[in-house]
Amino acid sequence: MNVAITPTTVDARGLACPMPIVKAAQWAKTAESGQLMDLLSTDAGALKDVPAWCRSTGNELVEQRAEAGVQHFLIRRA
């Protein structure tokens, strides 16, 4: 299996709920198991929505951090 080491960046900055989750779900449909995504969001709702989406889909939230007003969610595809 060819697994990406460098995360794919999915830019959802400036998009309101539920669009960060929609963008994450679109990525998950084509990503192979083990691939990484760096989801970028400025939506405050993403702080709760992204971890909940990961739990409900079985994807792993590897890291969550804020940088210059942007939330970064590093997610590994289940």
Place of tokens 């539920």: 18
- Read off φ and ψ for residue 15, nearest 5 degrees: -100, 135
Q: Residue 3 domain-assigned?
A: no
CATH number for the domain spanning 40: value is 3.30.110.40
What pLDDT, on the 0 to 100 scale, is given for residue 1? Answer: 53
Q: Residue 1 domain-assigned?
A: no
Total domains, the chain: 1
What pLDDT, on the 0 to 100 scale, is given for residue 5? Answer: 74
What pLDDT, on the 0 to 100 scale, is given for residue 8? Answer: 96
Query: What is the residue range of 25's domain?
Result: 8-76
Is residue 54 part of the annotated active site? The answer reads no
Residue 7: closest CA among 34, 30, 25, 29 = 34
Q: What is the pLDDT of residues 50-60, one digit of tens each?
A: 999 999 999 99
Name every residue whose Cβ is closer than 8 Å to that of residue 22 and which is 6 or more positions away in sequence: none
CA 14-19-25 angle, to 5 degrees, is 130
- Model pTM greater than 0.95? no
Pairing of strands 60-67, 8-12: unpaired
- Choosing from 7, 8, 17, 72, the catalytic residue is 17
Q: What is the pLDDT of residues 6-41, one digit of tens each?
A: 899 999 999 999 999 999 999 999 999 999 999 999
